[in-house]
Amino acid sequence: MNINVAILAFEYLHSVEALKLAISKFKNEKIFINPSIWTARDGIKSKVNNLFPECKFLDAGKGWHGYFRKPLECYELIKLTELEKKHFSYTHSRLSFFRDPARFNKNDIKIYTEITNYCYTLLKTNNVQLCFFISMPHTLLDLGFLYAAQRLEIKILIRGGPYIGDFNYPVLMNNNINISASYPVSNTLIHDFKVEFNRRNLKINIEEPSYMENPNTNMPSIPEPESIFFHKSLIQKIYSITKNKSLSIFADKVFFKLKKYYCIVYIKLIKKLFVTKEDSVIGKDYILVLLQYHPEQTTSTSALDTPFEDERVLNLAQKYPDKLILVREHPGNIRRTEINQYRSIRALRELSKLKNVRYLFPDSREKYLQILEKALFTVSTSGTVALESIQLGVPSIHFSNSFAKGFPGIVVVSSVDEIDIEDITLEKNNLNNMSLNDLIDGCLNAMTERPMEEGFITGYHNKVYTSNEYLTGASNIIFSCLNYALSAYFPKPRLANNR
């Protein structure tokens, strides 16, 4: 069996060799996995070309800015859905200074459509059968591949991670796939799972979660790109016109300084105009909405209702007009002064018009505990607040592709319309009748419906790995994800995980 795979956003150097090791394990079973397309920053391009000479490499840096649009003759003109346009716009908003992601024009839609058409043509001409994303796609190019793959009915595999210890699991982007299996749980996983739950139990530990402390400490660096890349579209445009690296770098530094001071003023303005004190709402009946950090990574493609969290709050306020809706900003957005990328003044102004909505800035963890344990239920796209919420006996709503699906106290829905008070009440009663150990065991059992692997490819992690451990762990993760996809998508039995 030959399977052509698009490898999307695998940008760490060790992941290239890890993929080579992982796919070699399938050869004894006459399964040949062939990387046909690879997207990443071009610092690993030479490594990919060396190990996979037949693979077409696309620089993800250029993909960020909407390149790769017109060179190919497309098979058909794709028309994007309104939801897809929103997801594209949310990702696009990261490239600009003032951009409101909820506002996009005809030219924006033209760019998004051309990118998707380009990806559609590449996937079809390379006869790709599986798109393997290292995480939820969150660049313009990778979104194009996702939506093109869906139209071509190409299988989609995503490496997920619940931020519980350093474990990873596969996600299949097909709601019709249902694998009835339970996977073995290592003693390490059980230990780390319980440790992480205790860390997120606000009754016994008020400290911030470890990924908020210094999330980049243990992450291997992405190799230095061969081509220059600027995160903001304005600076990238300056460079594309002038071809002057020194001038563009200088402009980037000036831009960064301006942004830093602007964000300080922006946060003060928001605090003055829109923020409610946490103390003023304690004692009232309310639904607590926890906004996400980097929403385009957690809501884009993961949430099937909307990538705009303010839009979801509006729907909640309309569904429950007799309930107070508390909307709490993520502390990471305030601390890193990047809130202007995610919360437009327009969105906050619209929410402030709603009589039953209050917008909160994070205060102390002690106050966070108080407002969390008094909530009727909590709402987030797929936030780890769910771990804190259910341990306080408060049910939590997640949207669409949730790592916590099957956890006691978690209700997974596709939209606000699907939220049902009866389901929430049932989960509340379940939580009230469970001991902490029973709760942890129930969550662990839900996690074992997918194979879990220890190691690191991307994202936050707590441990320090050697170079060999990075390689071995990443190889095992890739193998486990591919093996899981084979058992669901292709008519071949799942392999044993021979290491």
Please report whether residue 209 resides in a domain.
no
> pLDDT band for position 77 (50/70/90)?
confident
Question: Per mean pLDDT, which range of 73-87, 250-264, 329-343, 371-385 is the poorest?
Answer: 329-343
Residue 27 and residue 128 in one domain: yes
30 and 120: one domain? Answer: yes
Per-residue DSSP letter, 5: E
Range of the domain at 420: 277-447
Task: Say if residue 457 is in the same domain as residue 433.
Answer: no
Q: Which residue has the higher pLDDT, 496 or 140?
A: 140
Claim to verify: residue 341 and residue 440 sit in the same structural domain: yes
pLDDT for 207 equals 84
Rounded-to-integer distance, Cα 124 and Cα 145, Å: 11
Same domain, 346 and 407: yes
- Name the pLDDT band for 189 (thresholds 50, 70, 90): confident
pLDDT at 492 over 90: no
Residues 260 and 175 in one domain: no
Of all residues in the chain, what percent carry a pLDDT higher than 90?
A: 44
Banded pLDDT at 213 (limits 50, 70, 90): low
Find the angle CA(110)-CA(114)-CA(117) to the nearest 5 degrees. Answer: 140
Distances in whole angstroms, Cα of residue 227 to Cα of each of 51, 208, 297: 21, 38, 25
In a domain, 337, yes or no: yes
Task: Indicate whether 298 and 433 sit together in one domain.
Answer: yes
What mean pLDDT is predicted for residues 402-429? 93
Read off the pLDDT of each residue in 156-164 and give the average, rounded to a whole number.
79
Residues 367 and 460 in one domain: no
- Mean pLDDT, range 172-190, rounded to an integer: 77
| Domain end position, chosen among 246, 275, 304 | 275
Summarize the confidence of residues 387-415 as an average pLDDT: 92
**Are 61 and 225 spatial neighbours (Cβ–Cβ below 8 Å)?**
yes
What average pLDDT does the segment 240-267 reach?
82
Domain assignment of residue 199, yes or no = no
CATH number at residue 154: 3.40.50
Q: What mean pLDDT is predicted for residues 78-97? A: 87
- Residue at a domain's end among 275, 293, 310: 275
% of the chain with per-residue pLDDT over 70: 89
Q: What is residue 72's predicted lDDT score, i.e. its pLDDT?
A: 63
Position 392 scores a pLDDT of 96
Query: Do both 334 and 417 map to the same domain?
Result: yes
Q: Say which residues have a Cβ less than 8 Å from residue 298's Cβ, sequence separation at least 6.
A: 136, 292, 381, 382, 383
The rounded distance, in Å, linking the Cα atoms of 275 and 296 is: 23
Positive/negative CA dihedral, 211, 213, 218, 219 = positive
3 neighbors 129 (Cβ within 8 angstroms): yes
Q: What is the per-residue pLDDT for 208?
A: 80
pLDDT of residue 99: 77
Distances (CA, A) of 334 to 264, 266, 279, 329: 9, 11, 19, 8
Judge whether 18 and 51 are in contact, CB under 8 Å.
no
- Kindly list the distances between the CA atom of residue 430 and the CA atoms of 124, 393, 421, 438, in Å, as whole numbers in the listed order: 48, 9, 14, 11
123-142 pLDDT, tens digit per residue, is 999 999 999 998 888 789 99
Q: Which residue has the higher pLDDT, 326 or 215?
A: 326
210 is a domain residue? no
What pLDDT is stored for residue 123 in this prediction? 95
* 186 and 290 both lie in a single domain: no
d(CA 364, CA 468): 40
**Mean pLDDT on 357-363:** 91
> Which comes out higher in pLDDT, residue 39 or 336?
39
372 and 258, same structural domain?
no
| Tally of CB atoms within 10 A around 430 | 17
In a domain, 499, yes or no: no
Q: What is the mean pLDDT of the chain?
A: 86
- pLDDT of 83 reads 93
Question: Sorting pLDDT into bands at 50, 70 and 90, what band is 474?
Answer: very high
The pairing of beta strand 378-379 with beta strand 2-8: unpaired
Residues 328 and 464 in one domain: no
The answer to the question of residue 198 being in a domain is no
More confident site: 185 or 272: 272
The structure's pTM equals 0.90
Q: Which of the four pLDDT bands, split at 50, 70 and 90, describes residue 458?
A: confident
On whether residue 205 sits in a domain, the answer given is: no
CATH number at 426 reads 3.40.50.2000
Mean pLDDT within 288-294:
86
Number of domains in the chain: 3
Is residue 204 in a domain?
no
- Name which of 352, 322, 332, 319 is nearest 291 in CA terms: 332
Taken in order 219, 220, 221, 222, the sign of the CA dihedral is: negative
pLDDT value of residue 256:
78
Per-residue pLDDT at 300 exceeds 70: no
Q: Which of 238, 258, 275 is the last residue of a domain?
A: 275
